[in-house]
Structure 1
Amino acid sequence: MIQKKVRREDLGPDENLCEHCTAKCCRYFALPIDTPTDFSDFEFIRWYLLHDRASVFFDEGVWYLLVHTTCKHLQADYRCGIYHTRPQICRDYTTDACEYDDDWCYEKYFETPEQIWEYAEATTLRRPGQSLRSTKPPALPILS
């Protein structure tokens, strides 16, 4: 039998949302990165995206590097294996605005180096005299 997902608003006063979750918060981490302003900044982001399980997103004015990786202490029952000695960042985390509801939606989300490079080319200012078009290819030799 498939168990229906409990809605956040249906929880009782003594229930913890984590008891109904698959520990999404323990399966990635996201770190703020500098806002890219030129092509060299986008080259760094492109390098991030060349790595497995990395993505980059922009939300509410902040750029983030997101690494999809599971905490090594997450147990099969989705509970923390070091709960009593977990890091402070885990202790401070609350379910008030967590990802339980599956509504991950970012202003911009990039998964491939090609996506970020296309975005960079479309949004980054060109140097004076630099054309938006590709350079003109060399002329073909004339055959006699």
Structure 2
Amino acid sequence: MAIAFQVTFDSADPAALAAFWAEALHYVAQPPPEGFDSWDAAYAAEGASLEERTSWAALVDPDGVGPRLYFQRVPEPKTAKNRVHLDLRSAAGAPPGERNPTLEAERVRLTALGAHLVNRLEPDGVNDLCLVMQDPEGNEFCLD
């Protein structure tokens, strides 16, 4: 039996970073607990402070297939390269002639959301084109 998991991001602004990844992955905000129409209502019922209310955000795959993404506020900035990163398989299964234009279109879309291109790894006979990107807080990810 597979073990369920989530991917956790340390963040300066969990809501903003979650908004980027929701658009990037076509995910949605995790719904509030049953019996509440919003997270603010759930937190208000617990007497939570504004700091507690904004210290995290979570996203879920609307199809229930992908992992939950959790964004938690941390005080320190990102200072080094990620040891683990996401590969967004936006061109998986694309015919050879459509792979590069598909990746380029996705790069343009994600750049408009706040990501930026770090490196373009050209095909080398073994590996296909791969675009190394960073999200708005500098977390690396690849488009392949």
Could you state the TM-score of these two structures normalised by the residue count of structure 1? 0.23
Q: State which structure, 1 or 2, has the greater radius of gyration over its C-alpha atoms.
A: 1
More strand by share: 2
Structure with more contact order per residue of length (Cα contacts < 8 Å, sep ≥ 6): 1
